[in-house]
Amino acid sequence: MKHGYVKAAALTPGIRVADTVYNTEQIKKGLDEAFAEAAKIIVFPELCITGYTCQDLVFQETLLKGATEGLKEIREYTRGRDALVFVGLPLEKSGKLFNVAAVLQNGKILAFIPKETIPNYGEFYEARYFVAGNAEAENFMFDGEKIPFGTHILFCVDAVDGLQVACEICEDVWAAETPSTSHAMAGATVIVNLSASNETVGKDAYREDLIKSTSARLISGYVYSSAGEGESTQDLVFNGHNIIAENGTILSRARRFENESIYGEIDVQRLRHERRRMNTFLRNKEGYLYLPVHMEKTDTVLTRRYDSMPFVPSDEAKRNHRCDEILSIQSFGLKKRYQHIGCKTAVVGISGGLDSTLALLVTVRTFDMLGLPRENIHSVTMPCFGTTDRTYDNACRLASTLGTTLSEVNIKEAVSLHFRDIGQDSDVHDVTFENSQARERTQVLMDIANRAGGLVIGTGDMSELALGWATYNGDHMSMYGVNAGVPKTLVRHLVKYYADTCGQEELREILLDVLDTPVSPELLPPVDGKISQKTEDLVGPYELHDFFLYYMLRCGFEPSKVYRIARMSFAGKYDNATILKWLKNFYRRFFQQQFKRSCLPDGPKVGSVAVSPRGDLRMPSDACATLWLKEIEGLQAE
């Protein structure tokens, strides 16, 4: 399946207790629905052919024969279908009863997976009926065929690289030492669970947390199908709480008490990427049987959605919590640096733009934590050819309102003298014209810091560093870069959060106007007093670049996959040609500009993505983007 997606289904048929004929028909109807949805992993609940709540009826020969006849009928119903189907039933083996999952595909029974952990506490009495299953597979004769029987069996699907499916049953996932742990260490990337978990007050939240955390701990997909309406309510109620999770994220959940079928596309490629990068995820294949499973390679239609702003929580409460947390991480990082070197002053170059505003806010917060006076923060504004009245006024008002020491160094004369020294025509507005200003500003800040005995606080953010949108040894350089781990899309929300929570109306007004100002380095002369140089017109929308950065770096997606999900996420906002244009620009710049990231100042990592060579991204400065750009060129016709 293209890009490593496999579609899974968790279904809860409405059953009748001990009526295997009726239940078999309901399971077949569920299969019809799942096949129509193109699901390739289909999971039914525990003991669903008979019903979980049969109690002592499971000892009856009539019920056991009905279960095996139902299984044979379901087996035949899968003929011509390559999906893996997991269905539960009681099965007699060597004179004992086992609670098993039968694994079916294309008219065959591939294996029987027995339940390993048999609960016999509270409302559960399974030890009265069943014995624990064996781990290593052994042959079991069923309907004239030798079928592997055991918990340590993985189903290796050839249609998706790395797709290996394992199975456990209900209580197995609640145990202290779960079978799924062994399965994952043996290579399983998707775990299925046939369950009959009854409903009590608050249990649904615990169950969901359990499945979510299991998928995170095992870096796996997890498909959980639970018994629902139709089971006996003599003592218990079952609600069909089906869940599909992937690496700590719930992809789909059923509405309780509705026997709802759910579907989700599990990204096996991403799971493999996560496991590759985590050297603590160990492998142990001992005692496992690996069964090859053939499936046709089809293009999985995606119903899952990717947030267009992956760095910014869409929920306001979560977003506010995230902002407060990041501001604390930035401030505590800077605080430790000050405590270590015994420094008492800071120097921040302020432009009236977003990044320098955030850096100053973080510095103020740090000094408050240290008990240092805010006057020890030197806010330096350095107007030049491109500075507008709006940004200049905001910079000055911000510094004064926060109680810092404001100073102004107009660098026009110094830059003009420098132009004369190097023979630069001041009417030629090229890269030299722009970068000379940035480097002069950095020189001013460094020298003021030396004189004051302080640190220059860096303002550049992670998105600029990813694109190389920084002047080498200009704004690229500082003594501590507080924004180095913060993407541009999040910078905006951090400043907005500060504005909403500062409790100072004048400060809030200034911050809101900063937010309303176009992002610009202001290195070219303004037109009619307004900013003439808008960053996103030159390098592309930051929301696109942050999207590309997250899914390329954090998830390991190849360009075609990034392009695929970007088209979905930004449908109606950017056309395909625009997305493709900036995607190509992103990869080109990302590879070309690594040399700037290789010598970054220290700065705190605040999220799961960082571009520091000491953090997530270690790559040679002369690495070639040829393979990535070639793949993008192949997308032109799409």
Which residue ranges make up the annotated binding site? 121, 197, 203, 349-356, 435, 459, 464, 469-472, 596
Q: Would you give the distance in Å from CA 101 to the centre of its chain? A: 31
Give the annotated binding-site residues for deamido-NAD(+).
435, 464, 469-472, 596
Q: Tell me how crowded residue 21 is: count the other CB atoms within 10 A of its CB.
A: 12
Cα–Cα distance for residue pair 236/583, rounded to 1 Å? 55
C-beta of residue 498 within 8 angstroms of C-beta of residue 398 = no
Q: Count Cβ atoms within 10 A of the Cβ of residue 180 and give its class: 0-12 exposed, 13-18 middle, 19 or more buried.
A: buried
Residue 123: name the closest of 214, 233, 230, 45 by CA: 233
**Active-site residue (options: 40, 46, 54, 561):** 46
Separation CA 598–CA 171 (nearest Å): 50
* Given 7, 40, 93, 115, the catalytic residue: 115
289-293 vs 153-157, strand pairing mode: parallel
Cα–Cα distance, 356 to 379 (Å, whole number): 10
Q: Would residue 115 show up in a list of annotated catalytic residues for this protein?
A: yes
Phi/psi region, residue 473 (left: phi>0; alpha: psi -120 to 50; beta: rest), is: left
Binding residues for L-glutamine: 121, 197, 203
Of 304, 301, 292, 300, which is closest to residue 84 (Cα–Cα)?
Answer: 292
Q: Which position among 167, 170, 323, 555 bears the catalytic label?
A: 170
Residue 575, CA distances (Å) to 185, 570, 578 in order: 43, 8, 5
At CA 253, angle to CA 251 and CA 258, rounded to 5? 155
What are the structure tokens assigned to 303, written together?
A: 């119903």
Q: Give catalytic status of residue 54 as yes or no.
A: no
Considering only the C-alpha atoms of the chain, give the largest distance between any 2 of them, rounded to a whole number of Å: 101
Residues placed in the known binding site for ATP: 349-356, 459
170 annotated active-site:
yes
Active-site positions read 46, 115, 170
